[in-house]
Amino acid sequence: MSYQVQNSLSPHHDGSDLYVSNSAPKIGDNVTLKVRIPKGYLFERVMVRMYHDGEPRIFELKKANSDQHESWYQVSVKILNLQNYYRFVFIGNGKYEWLNARGVFDHDVHSNNDFQLVAAPSNPSWINSAVFYQIFPDRFAKSGKVDITPDWAYPREWDLLPRGRGKFTGQELYGGDLYGVQEHLDHITDLGVNGIYFTPIFPSRSNHRYDATSFDHVDPVLGGDKAFQSLIKVAKKKGIRILGDLTSNHCGVGHAWLIKAKKDKKSKERTYFFWDKSIKWGYVGWYGLESLPKLNYASKALRRAVYEGPNSIVKKWLSPKFGMAGWRIDVGNMTGVQGAENHHVEVMQGIRKAMHEVNPDTWLVAENGDFLASDLNGLGWHGAMNYQGFMRPFWNWINRNPEITGGFQGLPFAMPKINGKQLVESIQEFNSSIPWRSLTASMMLLDSHDTARFRTVVLGDKKAHASAMSMMLTYPGVPSIFAGDEIGLEGSWGEDARRTINWDDQSSWDFEFMAEVKKLVSLRRTQDALINGGLRWVKAENDYVVYLRESKKQSILVLVSRGAIDATINLSEYGYSVSKTLYGEKVQGQSFRITSEGAIQGIWVVTR
């Protein structure tokens, strides 16, 4: 029997609190593991196989309770190691089946897809009910309080679109600033959002600021430290946390570190970089770019400057004086890796340790555009920007504009079109390789400053955009809305998507869509099943998917379609019945039919 997402008659386990008594145990603690088993699934014994000090151990589960639809089995196990891998086996007359994080299999499986439990302090609890709003500072709002035009910039009128790829790319300056953000915080709170993720705010020689010339202060073009501290103060009063963006992998060509390193070969800054005489400019640049000198973490002095020292970059901006709530790490998968040098794990864990020393309640999320599961083993980044396990497969599924190529697909051809089953299989491929806590700490997104706008991805189809928002805001993880998506901004690629928001003339705003986004954000932040619930797939058809989010307090059913459907959903095998419609199509009962001529969504409370 291969894994089938639509097979409700299969045992289920995930890392949520319904199934694991403590997702952040200490070594020596006892943890109760539970499995939910439908009545129609026949077996005689169920055991868990768990590694203790590198050796597999077997513990048998006992029935805890049951009803007419299902039984719950459980076992208490002692946590002996930092990382704990386990899977369940069901034995019966002619039955030999494994349940791991990938699904149920009737053949031996590898430990790579085992469930994972990490004996490390818990992730910040506030991220469970957080919804972020990504702001590209130059394009959000212009206060008129800052009048600085750097020598590298090409000034651009606010209501004009970015120009195409060319000499202006990355250097068109519209003049957005942090005072402008502060003036429009009410727009953000009105959406229901309680977090802002800023792309870099440090001085640089570009509008995107991923080429920092200093990490010591906020870019004066944005209003400097004064504007930032004012914003932080007001945002805090409104219950909004601020997430910073750090290029731990590289700095900019104008950075004082590089200038000093060039002048003085005996300086500590000289050790910060990779030097190579075969390269025209003498040092290694990220992606071969002169403008982005790669940082060399073999240097202990660099480690102290970036994260270890008491006044390090990582620690300074999280301190009470500046009050950031965490860091998004740019190209996190490349940080610390260059040729034969590989300090990636040390740097990743070092940044997390530094953050924990300053404030244990801060969030560390990395841009792992190309994903390695080991980065999310629970000891490094709390989570990643979930391109691999959500955005990419979702774009492939809803595929209306294949030539856009799916943003971070990294493929030299149009993105493929997949069905619902392939969507879920792709998602499960990602989920099964990491601990549950790393999934729920990962950033959920439909698009970003580096991709096309989602409204363009679906060729302006508002219903399809609503389906995408519905899934993003009901799926495990920390949702992030790119500023302007809520009003229907478009854009075909990174720079084109970084369009300004016209606050003076709102005639082009999609207020109807924004109202739907507000409803969905409110649900994400208030419904316990969406905050703490697990994930069970109910159906995966060509054009729609259905899944359950279940917590100790609540169960929610979600249906999302990409287009026209004629679907019958029968919950009798689960023992559930729809008792309340939270969003979208109004239905009730244990079995219902939904037909539509276009993309459609439904979010319902289900009860027994």
The average pLDDT across 305-312 equals 97
Q: How many residues appear in the chain?
A: 608
CB 82 within 8 A of CB 379: yes
Q: What is the mean pLDDT of residues 67-83?
A: 97
What Å distances lie between residue 316 and 51, 269, 320, 357, 580, CA to CA? Answer: 40, 20, 9, 12, 47
Mean pLDDT, residues 185-210: 98
| Residue pLDDT, tens place only, 25-65 | 999 999 999 999 999 999 999 999 999 999 999 999 999 99
Whether 6 shows a pLDDT value over 70: the answer reads no
Q: What is the pLDDT of residue 527?
A: 98
The pLDDT, as a whole number, for residue 2 is 33
Q: HSE on the CB side for 537, CA within 13 Å?
A: 23
Q: Supply 143's token pair.
A: 């206060």
Report d(CA 83, CA 120) in Å as an integer.
Answer: 9
What is the predicted pLDDT for the residue at 3?
37
Measuring CA to CA, which residue among 451, 450, 447, 448 is closest to residue 465? 447
- Under 8 Å between Cβ of 455 and 485: yes
| pLDDT band at 7; cut points 50, 70, 90 | low
Give the per-residue SS3 of 154-196.
EECCCCCCCCCCCCCCCCEECCCCHHHHHHCHHHHHHHCCCEE
Q: Rounded mean pLDDT of the chain?
A: 95
| Tens digits of residue pLDDT in 154-172 | 999 999 999 978 888 899 9
pLDDT one-digit tens code per residue, 201-210: 999 999 999 9
- Looking at the chain, the whole-number percentage of residues with pLDDT higher than 90 is 93
pLDDT band at 23 (very low <50, low <70, confident <90, very high): very high
β 577-584/601-607 pair status: antiparallel
- pLDDT at 487 exceeding the cut of 90: yes
Q: 565 with 596: CB under 8 angstroms?
A: yes
Burial class (CB in 10 A: 0-12, 13-18, 19+), 58: exposed
Answer yes or no: are the C-beta atoms of 318 and 362 closer than 8 Å: yes
**Mean pLDDT throughout 123-135?**
98
Q: Of 40, 41, 36, 46, nearest to 13 (Cα)?
A: 36
Does the pLDDT of residue 569 top 60, yes or no? yes
**How do the domains of the chain map onto residue ranges?**
30-118, 133-247, 250-294, 296-320+330-385, 532-607
| pLDDT attached to residue 268 | 97
DSSP structure class, residue 441 = T
Range 30-118 classified under CATH 3.20.20.70: no
> Range with the lowest mean pLDDT among 400-414, 436-450, 477-491, 510-524?
400-414
Q: Tell me the pLDDT band of 8, cut-offs 50, 70 and 90.
A: low
Reading the block at residue 138, the tokens are 């130059």
Taking CB atoms within 8 Å and a gap of at least 24, the contacts of 1-7 are: 1/97, 1/104, 1/105, 1/106, 2/105, 3/102, 3/103, 3/104, 3/105, 3/428, 4/103, 5/421, 5/424, 5/425, 5/428, 5/537, 5/539, 5/540, 6/537, 6/538, 6/539, 6/540, 6/541, 7/104
- Strand residue runs (E) in 221-325: 241-246
372 pLDDT higher than 90: no
**CA torsion through residues 468, 564, 420, 97, sign:** positive
Question: Tens of pLDDT along 173-184?
Answer: 999 999 999 999
pTM to 2 decimal places: 0.96
> How high is the pLDDT of residue 408?
54
pLDDT at 415: 86
The H-or-E segment that residue 565 falls in is strand 565-570
pLDDT at 407 over 60: no
Q: Which of 140-144, 199-203, 237-241, 396-400 has the lowest mean pLDDT?
A: 396-400
d(CA 15, CA 86): 11
Chain-centroid distance of CA 49 in Å reads 30
The full 3-state SS of 49-71, as one line of letters, equals: EEEECCEEEEEECEEEEECCCEE
The class (CATH top level) of 532-607 is: mainly beta
Confidence (pLDDT) at 35? 98
* CATH superfamily assigned to domain 250-294: Oligo-1,6-glucosidase; Domain 2 (3.90.400.10)
Identify the pLDDT of residue 412: 76
pLDDT of residue 409: 64
Beta bridge partners of 96: 91
CATH architecture of 133-247: 2-Layer Sandwich (3.30)
Q: Which residue has the higher pLDDT, 169 or 422?
A: 422
Tokens (6 digits) for 356: 């924990």
Average pLDDT estimate for 85-90: 98
Q: How far apart (Å, rounded) are the C-alpha atoms in residues 518 and 520?
A: 5
* pLDDT tens-place string over residues 318-363: 999 999 999 999 999 999 999 999 999 999 999 999 999 999 999 9
Residue 405: what pLDDT?
66
What pLDDT, on the 0 to 100 scale, is given for residue 304? 98
Q: What is the mean predicted confidence (pLDDT) over 229-251? A: 98
Q: Do domains 30-118 and 532-607 have the same CATH topology?
A: yes
User: Residues 576-591: what's their mean pLDDT?
Assistant: 97
For residues 386-409, average pLDDT? 84
Structure-token match 């035009």, residue found: 149
pLDDT in the model for residue 165? 81
Task: Evaluate if residue 148 carries a pLDDT over 70.
Answer: yes
Kindly report the number of other CB atoms within 10 A of residue 263's CB atom: 10
d(CA 537, CA 103) in angstroms, rounded, equals: 11
Q: Is the pLDDT of residue 4 over 60?
A: no
Q: β-strand 326-329 against 363-366: which pairing, if any?
A: parallel
